[in-house]
Amino acid sequence: MPTIATSEDQLKEIVHSVVECDGENISIKDEKKLRETVIDDLIYTAVFAKEESLKEKAKKLIRKIANEFGAIPSSIHEFYMAMGRGEVDKVTTPAVNIRGMTYDVARQMFKVANKHNVGAFIFEIAKSEIGYTDQRPSEYAACVLAAAIKEGFKGPVFIQGDHFQFNAKKYAEDPEKELQSIKDLTEEAIKAGFYNIDIDPSTLVDYSKPALKEQQYHNYICTAKMTQFIRQIEPEGITVSVGAEIGHIGGKNSTVEEFEAFMEGYLENLPEGMSGISKMSVQTGTEHGGIPLPDGTIAEVKLDFNVLRDIGKVAREKYGLGGTVQHGASTLPDELFDKFPENNCCEIHLATGFQNIMYDLIPEDFKNEIYSWIKENLKKEWKEGWTEEQFIYKTRKKGFAPFKYQWWTLEKEYKDRILDALYKKFEFLFGKLNAFNTKELVEKYVKPVKHEYGELKK
């Protein structure tokens, strides 16, 4: 069991044998011991220490060590721009939302990356997940970078804020206050090393308006404002990859015409010469996490690849973007995944399918403990007409935060079973998405720049 430091002196003692500190600079003296035990102690301290100041010191140490080690938080922007120029094709970057056991799950992704020479892969967490999984950006980034060190991964590490979404009701009441709340979260994320941010004001699209550009007005205006804000604060040498979205709401597939209406308004409101978005999320018929049926199974998804293909083609050829982004894909049938690279899809977001694996393989008594907590504490979320199976499926994502320590410290037998299943799933998906052997390709376009934890543009 890793050591969780209880004092600054103990934290210094943990790292003192493997790293040497000279003021603000760090050098690694014993990489073997660092990877074998010390990084475990550091990340457990960063996540579970009782004192907030100790957590912060551990996170700062992890970032410094990762920089020295060669696992560098980076932006995927230039890789996607290369896609827009036609220099990279038929690669879909997997972006994985990790809700629980983040350190151990991230390790499985790095293991697959090391084995198959993968460079194009992203670790992400959505605005909503930050809340209900109790993982602030600094903790999430620390887990990912610690996992890279543990597995010996060196190169660009892509950490992403997913669905930094505007609340339509709050925006209607006070647009500037809601915009500021998204700015605050974005600044927090960039300080933590999230150099990839997906802005999502698609919730503000108004389909009651007659013209497409009017419908998209608040979406493109807020995306333009957020792009400018990000460019003002991003650290020197970093062009944060900014994603936009036109298809989160509406219950209908996105169209090329909607995309072009958005882009017209967006570009009109972006200062000349400023780097804009690198990709566009669209609606293709899927729902995040799939639609649970009364018996707890998931409804068959009717995904329209033509949406990805057609919008992606215009995105690349007319606007020089990386292509389209597919959400809600982790519960799709396995045979569909190799279609994404063929249809101008530069990125695919995956979450619930991995959560399902984790819940399927934990001990029954632990699962029952979580479900009992959900039924007691989340009963207000039980919608009329839902069976218990539907209610549990839709809400069990909220069972990670209150049981975080138990998830991280599962008995070895169960933890190994979960991680082995996740490794195999990651390996399968990364292969289907043509992410294998992309490390040199990514590094051709992405030149990592080292920055300190908490650093913004000077």
Contact between 313 and 260 under an 8 Å Cβ cutoff? The reply is: no
Beta bridge partners of 94: 348
DSSP string, 221-260: HHHHHHHHHHHHHSPTT---EEEEES-SSSSS---HHHHH
Sign of CA dihedral 101, 76, 255, 342: negative
pLDDT at 295: 59
pLDDT at 252: 81
- Over residues 264-287, the pLDDT tens digits come to 999 999 999 999 999 999 987 655
3-state class of 273 per DSSP? coil
Domain ranges within the chain, ordered by starting residue: 8-69, 71-358+406-445
DSSP string, 430-449: HHHTT-TT-HHHHHHH----
Q: Could you tell me which residues come within 8 angstroms of residue 439 by beta carbon, excluding any fewer than 6 positions away?
A: 113, 117, 118, 119, 155
In angstroms, rounded to a whole number, what is the distance separating the alpha carbons of residues 312 and 280?
8
Amino acid at 258: E
**What is the enclosing helix (H) or strand (E) of 131?**
helix 127-132
**At the topology level of CATH, where does 71-358+406-445 sit?**
TIM Barrel (3.20.20)
Backbone dihedral angles phi then psi of residue 282, each to the nearest 5 degrees: -135, 165
Going from the C-alpha of 277 to that of each of 202, 241, 319, 330, the distances in angstroms are 15, 7, 10, 24
What are the per-10-residue average pLDDT scores of the chain (458 residues)?
95 92 86 97 98 96 96 98 97 97 98 98 97 97 98 98 96 98 98 97 93 96 98 97 83 90 98 97 67 54 85 98 89 88 96 92 97 96 92 95 98 97 97 98 97 89
- Over residues 181-236, the pLDDT tens digits come to 999 999 999 999 999 999 999 999 999 999 999 999 999 999 999 999 999 999 99
3-state class of 25 per DSSP? strand
Beta bridge partners of 74: 158
Contact between 392 and 371 under an 8 Å Cβ cutoff? The reply is: yes
In angstroms, rounded to a whole number, what is the distance separating the alpha carbons of residues 107 and 79?
23
